[in-house]
C-alpha cells in the first residue's frame, strides 16, 4: 500500500492517465495499491450521469470523466484523494456499494477529527453538513471500478473558492449548497487533513 502526495497542482488528464496505469499494474499484481493525495488547478469534470444543462457557465476547462456521478468542481484548497484498491483482496465478496459506504465512513470519521458532523443522505451521493442556511455538501464521491480495482475517489473542501462551484449544478442538486472547513469556521491545514485521512484509512482493512 502506497501513499502518494503531490505538492504541485496536477492536470486532470495526467491524473487520469496515471490512475489508469496504476490500476492496470494492480490488476497484474505488478504494482501496489495506492492513495494519491493531490490538488487540481480549477476545472470541472463530467461524470457518466452528467446532464448538459447542469453546466451553467464553463469558466474553467471541462473534462469528461469515466467516474460515476454528474458535474463537479476541483481546484486549489480542495483535497482530492484518488483511491486505487483491489476489492477482491480487500473484501470477502467484492461489493461496490460496500466500498462506497466505506468511502463515506472514512470521510465522516476524518471530519469528526475537526468537530465537523458529516452525514449521509439517502439518494444523495457525498457527505453533507447541516448549516444555518440548510444542508450543504462538504465532500464529493465519484468512483470507477475496473476488474474490481477501484480508482477516482473523493474530494473534500478545505478552503477552495466556493464561488467556482457556481459554474455548474454540483452533482445535479440545485437545491443544496456547497460548504468547506473554512466556511464552517474550522481552521485547518492541508497536512492536518492528510494526516487524518491516513489515520482513518483502516476502515478499508
Q: In sequence order, what are the beta bridge partners of 35? A: 3, 83
171 in active site: yes
Ordered by where they begin, the domains of the chain are 2-204 (3.30.930.10)
Q: What is the pLDDT of residues 22-41, one digit of tens each?
A: 999 999 999 999 999 999 99
Selected catalytic residue, list 50, 103, 110, 171: 171
Write out the DSSP string of 133-183.
TEEEEEEEEEEEEETTEEEEEEEEESS--GGGGGGB-GGG-TTSEE--TTT
Average pLDDT, the chain: 93
Proportion of the chain in helix, strand, coil states, percent, rounded to 5: 30, 30, 35
Q: What is the share, in percent, of the chain residues with pLDDT greater than 90?
A: 78
H or E element at residue 193 = helix 190-199
Residue whose C-alpha cell is 502526495? 5
Q: What is the pLDDT of residues 128-181, one digit of tens each?
A: 999 888 899 999 999 999 999 999 999 999 999 999 999 988 765 666 789 999
Over 70: is that where the pLDDT of 66 sits? yes
Amino acid at each position: 500500500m502506497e501513499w502518494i502526495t503531490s505538492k504541485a497542482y496536477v492536470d486532470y488528464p495526467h491524473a487520469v492517465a496515471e490512475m489508469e496505469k496504476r490500476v492496470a499494474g494492480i490488476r497484474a499484481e505488478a504494482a501496489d495499491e495506492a492513495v494519491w493525495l493531490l490538488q487540481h488547478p480549477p476545472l470541472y469534470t463530467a461524470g457518466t450521469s452528467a446532464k448538459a444543462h447542469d453546466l451553467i457557465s464553463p469558466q474553467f476547462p471541462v473534462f469528461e470523466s469515466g467516474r460515476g456521478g454528474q458535474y463537479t468542481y476541483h481546484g486549489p484548497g480542495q483535497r482530492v484523494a484518488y483511491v486505487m484498491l483491489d476489492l477482491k483482496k480487500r473484501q470477502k465478496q467484492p461489493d461496490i456499494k460496500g466500498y462506497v459506504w466505506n468511502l463515506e465512513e472514512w470521510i465522516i470519521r476524518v471530519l469528526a477529527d475537526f468537530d465537523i458532523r458529516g452525514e449521509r443522505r439517502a439518494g444523495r451521493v457525498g457527505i453533507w453538513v447541516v448549516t444555518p442556511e440548510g444542508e450543504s455538501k462538504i465532500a464529493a464521491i465519484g468512483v470507477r471500478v475496473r476488474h474490481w480495482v477501484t480508482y477516482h475517489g473523493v474530494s473534500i473542501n478545505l478552503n477552495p473558492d466556493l464561488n467556482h462551484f457556481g459554474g455548474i449544478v454540483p452533482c445535479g442538486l440545485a437545491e443544496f449548497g456547497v460548504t468547506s472547513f473554512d466556511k464552517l469556521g474550522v481552521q485547518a491545514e492541508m497536512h492536518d487533513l492528510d494526516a487524518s485521512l491516513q489515520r482513518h484509512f483502516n476502515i478499508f482493512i
